[in-house]
Chains A and B, each alone.
Chain A
Amino acid sequence: QVQLQESGPGLVKPSETLSLTCTVSGGSLSTHYWSWIRQTPGKGPEWIGNIFHSGSTTYNPSLQSRVTMSVDVSKNHFSLRLRSVTAADTAVYFCARMPARWEYWFDPWGQGTLVTVSS
């Protein structure tokens, strides 16, 4: 059974770069799409972007100018970098798997990691 686990700093200073890694166990990154999703308290989740094992990416247009995703198949993990963060980027960040481009549900998800942007 595939499991995902997010890791990274829980506190990031304004204007700096948020960096998170999602480690996949029980399966290979060489299939499916891999996603980052975030959620601020009291709001619905927001899709950040997808990456395929080839490195091909698709990003949310509202975040595209600040987001970079990467994948390391040999280490079975993929990563998120979000530049120039502000308090509005404070959220719980989840990683998840998407079966295929046109099978666009997310399953499974990681438990999520809270990232706070504050000086």
Chain B
Amino acid sequence: QSVLTQPPSVSGAPGQRVTISCTGSSSNIGAGYDVHWYQHLPGAAPKLLIYNHNDRPSGVPDRFSGSKSGTSASLAISGLQAEDEADYYCQSYDISLSGNYVFGTGTKVTVL
């Protein structure tokens, strides 16, 4: 079902910077639709981290940043902290499915 592809896992030591890619196509990210990112801790409600490529909701640290280029987007986490260990998902809009909000496959971030 997921039309946005993410790496299954990324890892880094505390303090390091990690990036998560989100690869789409010409019917979603490549068509100019915005990309949003969520953090999901087990048993908790998913949390909006980034909206419209690189805007952060109030309360989200500026260690989290987003970018977009062509048919892909990326989430960067700098100054990695133990509390950042979670699943991360990108999300966009896809015009090929008669109007559908689509999510990424998800990436597990492990803090070594």
Query: Do A and B interact?
Result: yes
Q: Which residues of B contact A10 (CB under 8 A)?
A: none
Question: Number of A residues whose C-beta is below 8 Å from B?
Answer: 23
User: Which bracket fits the contact residues of B?
Assistant: 20 to 34
* A62-B1, A104-B34 given; A44·B44 CB < 8 A: no
- How far, in whole Å, are A15 and B99 apart by their CA atoms in the complex? 28
Mostly helix, strand, loop or mixed at chain A's interface? loop
Q: Do A61 and B48 touch across chains, with their CB atoms under 8 A apart?
A: no
Pick from B43, B51, B105: contact of A111, CB below 8 A: B43
Q: Do B57 and A104 touch across chains, with their CB atoms under 8 A apart?
A: no
Beta-carbon contacts under 8 Å, B1-57 to A: 1-2, 4, 6, 34, 36, 38, 43-48, 51-52, 57
Q: Do B48 and A45 touch across chains, with their CB atoms under 8 A apart?
A: no
Q: Which residues of A contact B43 (CB under 8 A)?
A: 111
Q: Which residues of B contact A60 (CB under 8 A)?
A: 97, 100
Q: Do B101 and A112 touch across chains, with their CB atoms under 8 A apart?
A: no
Pick from B1, B38, B93: contact of A104, CB below 8 A: B93
Per-residue B-contact encoding for A85-119, CB less than 8 Å = 1, 0 else:
00000000010100000011111111110000000
- How far, in whole Å, are A109 and B46 apart by their CA atoms in the complex? 6
- How far, in whole Å, are A111 and B43 apart by their CA atoms in the complex? 7
Q: Do B46 and A47 touch across chains, with their CB atoms under 8 A apart?
A: no
Question: Interface residues, chain A, CB within 8 Å of chain B?
Answer: 4, 35, 43-47, 58, 60-62, 94, 96, 103-112
Question: Interface residues, chain B, CB within 8 Å of chain A?
Answer: 1-2, 4, 6, 34, 36, 38, 43-48, 51-52, 57, 89, 91, 93, 97-106
